[in-house]
Amino acid sequence: MNLFFQALVDGIMMAAVYALVALGLTLVFGLLDIVNFAHGQMLLLGSYLVCALVGGSVSFWIALPVSVVLLGILGYGIDFGLFARVRSSPISGLIISIGLIAIFSDIFRSIWGVNQKTIPAPLRTVFRPGGLTIPADQLIVVAAALVVMAALVLFLRLTRAGISLRATADNPEAAALMGIPVERIRNLAFALGAALSGLAGGLLAGIYPTVPSGGDSILVTGFIVLILGGAGSPLGAVIASLVVALIESFGAVYWTSSAAAITGFIVLILVLFLRPSGLISRSREVTL
Amino acid sequence: MQRLRRARGGAPYLLVVVVAVLAVVVQNALLLAAASLTAIYGLWGTSFNIVWGYGGQFSMAQVALGATGAYTTAILDTQFNWNFWLALVAAIAVGVCMSIIIGLIALRLTGFYFAIMTLAFASLLLQLLSTWNRVGGTTGMASAANPGVVNIGSVHWDLAAKNGGLLILAALFLLFFLGSMAQIERTRTGRALSAIREDQSLAASVGISSLYYRLLAFAASAVVAVVAGTLYSLYLLFISPTFFGVSVVITLIAITVIGGTGHKFGPVLGAAIYMILTQYLTWAGTHSDAIFGAVLVVLILVAPAGILGHWKSLSRWAATLVRSRRAPARVPRDVTPVGVKGVKH
């Protein structure tokens, strides 16, 4: 029973991270029609930035927002300079993001080497309610994810930029006719997605060692979540990340972690085959 | 005139032969390695070119199909003592079956969804390989396959040798597949494929079964991918799942786009550029990924059709460059007057 709750706690923590990743992916996909393969590398950049700042004796709590802001700026620049130029051909955007993976991973290898980077845990407190171990930093991840998601929802519902963003996602032409600067909104969406990946990466750096291959596995998981939740649906992304993370953590506890990974891929293939629009999605047109 | 045109069409084939023979004659280890890898990656890129450039489907499973070939020949060769060529035929059969299974499931989708579906299959296969103890899991296994020795009089030609045998073998496969593609382009199948790529619904309206032809292209690409993967394993001598990871996928996409998507010789040209960069420039060798990623990004922005796609305008530009250097004083007749730029037409 203890094992069960431990798996549950771990699963919920990872779900928070996946949700941040998938929210970024879904935001970019919904607005820009780009599946950004470099999203995993952006997350890794967030991790490395936090590691580097903490290594330079900056507090984790300052390093985290700094990396989020830097990633946001980088995302804005990447979209403005690269993706904006190939809006008419989505596959070109995909190829650009693939090229970016190569560039990012080479830079990471040159600067930070191939060995894993670890930083001291930001919070050393461990709660032990009834024999369970819940490190406080895992709670922080969940709390941060919840706060950010709530902020995102409020931003999308209440602010002018957020409403413009949703309008652009719905119908770019109509939005442009209403005087919404569609291109700037798209840049903003990409910047937001990048910032979310920076947050997820920074939070992960506080819990797990940062390794050069970390971007790939989280990207594939991000895609699984994206497809499962229905591309372009934030609520779907959150629910799907819970499902995927729980499969993973329970699989790792009661089975082997590779069996859990294989299950994840099979679930992805089945969902793509049976319901390409996602399990939990509003009726979104999917090119079949 | 007709003969001349045919001769011009044959020039790239001739170039492949000349480079391969030159490398074997000169016996420079670096040149041999670069030429062998060019032929192998050229083949692998060709398999991606068939499914994407000709079939219009962005497949990320070509590397996994190559891994299927490499592992199947390695298992049959080292654990069941099969003859290499028999094992290769079996590997092609396995690869084609796998491509048909993946194709039947994935070809219902297009665009990103197809790309992600093929990526999912590729990841699944690599995950399975790295958990399978028989093939050494994540450590990998020796690919002690040997295509054999050809004896012609006093000449002994070891087909797996690094001193030229493997290169000639790979070059022959390359010429064979590219020649076959040239033949297929002229048939009904080739025309049907280009019709589907241009406009799928229009092609369907004149009775071209899109699924059938796209599946055919995918299966054909699997044959080439299996051969490429097997040759790659002969080159490596030792295979593990990491050799068939995302970085190879990126390289294949990059060489195809750089050479010219949908052009027979595009991947070969791209592979040659990649190998020249990585084998000859030490600095470029360590940063080959980043350089190629950057080239890919820039090329997609300024010249998405690749080198061969812009060949005509490139050669015209080169011609004017040569001409202007020869006669610098000549003023072109139709010079646009200064100041016209801002005027609206």
- Better-scored residue on pLDDT, A70 or A267: A70
Q: Which two tokens stand for residue B237?
A: 């001598």
- What pLDDT sits at residue A220? 79
Q: Return d(Cα B119, Cα B280) in angstroms, integer.
A: 32
**Cα A107 from chain centre:** 21
Q: Which residue in this structure is represented by tokens 């291959």?
A: A213
Cα distances (Å, whole numbers) of residue B259 to A131, B13, B242: 61, 15, 26
Q: Return d(Cα B180, Cα B221) in angstroms, integer.
A: 12
Q: Return d(Cα A104, Cα A125) in angstroms, integer.
A: 35
CA quadruple B60, B104, B129, B230: dihedral positive or negative? negative
Q: Contact at 8 Å (CB) between B166 and B235? A: yes
Q: Which of A82, A91, A262 sits opposite B127 (nearest CB)?
A: A262
Band (A190; pLDDT cuts 50, 70, 90) = very high
| Chain mean pLDDT for chain A | 83
Residue B99 neighbours by CB under 8 Å, 6+ apart: B61, B65, B218, B219, B221, B222
Q: Contact at 8 Å (CB) between B231 and B239? A: no
- Better-scored residue on pLDDT, A277 or A95: A95
CA quadruple A128, A129, A131, A132: dihedral positive or negative? negative
Q: Return d(Cα A172, Cα A182) in angstroms, integer.
A: 7
Chain B residues close to A35, C-beta within 8 Å: 112, 115-116
Which of A103, A108, A262 is best to mutate for the B interface (most B CBs within 10 A)? A103
DSSP state of A117: B
Q: Return d(Cα A25, Cα A18) in angstroms, integer.
A: 10
- DSSP strand pairing (B238-239 vs B141-142): antiparallel
Which of A69-83, A93-107, B182-196, B260-274 is modeled with the greatest confidence? A69-83
- The tens-digit pLDDT sequence of chain B (345 residues) is 455 455 457 778 888 888 878 877 777 878 888 888 899 999 999 999 999 888 888 898 999 999 999 999 999 988 888 888 889 999 999 999 999 999 998 888 877 888 888 988 998 998 898 888 888 777 888 876 677 777 666 666 777 777 778 888 888 899 999 888 888 888 888 888 888 877 777 888 887 888 888 899 999 999 999 999 999 998 888 888 888 888 788 889 888 988 888 888 889 999 998 888 877 776 666 777 788 888 888 888 887 778 888 777 777 787 787 776 665 555 555 544 444 444 444
Are residues A265 and B304, on separate chains, in Cβ contact within 8 Å? no
CA quadruple B253, B257, B261, B265: dihedral positive or negative? negative
CA of B189, closest CA in chain A: separation in Å? 23
B294 Cβ under 8 Å from any chain A Cβ: yes
Chain A residues close to B297, C-beta within 8 Å: 82, 96, 99-100, 103
Are residues A106 and B304, on separate chains, in Cβ contact within 8 Å? no
Q: Return d(Cα B68, Cα B129) in angstroms, integer.
A: 9
Amino acid at A149: M
Amino acid at B311: W
Q: Which of B105, B120, B300 sits opposite A96 (nearest CB)?
A: B300
Give the model confidence (pLDDT) of A15-34 as tens digits: 888 888 888 888 888 777 77
Are residues A94 and B58, on separate chains, in Cβ contact within 8 Å? yes
- Count of Cβ atoms closer than 10 Å to residue B308 Cβ: 22
Chain B residues close to A94, C-beta within 8 Å: 58, 112, 115
What b-and-e string marks burial along A20-57, b requiring 16 or more CB atoms within 10 Å of the CB?
bbbbbbbbbbbbbbbbbbbbbbbbbbbbbbbbbbbeee
Q: Which two tokens stand for residue B166?
A: 């493997």
Q: Contact at 8 Å (CB) between B116 and A272? A: yes
Are residues B123 and A265, on separate chains, in Cβ contact within 8 Å? yes
H-helix or E-strand containing B62?
helix B62-80
Given a cut of 70, is residue A225 above it in pLDDT? yes
Chain A residues close to B261, C-beta within 8 Å: none
Question: Please, which residues bridge with residue A135 across strands?
Answer: A126
ipTM of the assembly? Answer: 0.81
- Count of Cβ atoms closer than 10 Å to residue A154 Cβ: 11
Q: Contact at 8 Å (CB) between B114 and B57? A: yes
Task: Count CA atoms within 13 Å of residue A27 on its CB side.
Answer: 29
Residue A282 neighbours by CB under 8 Å, 6+ apart: A230, A233
- What pLDDT sits at residue A285? 37
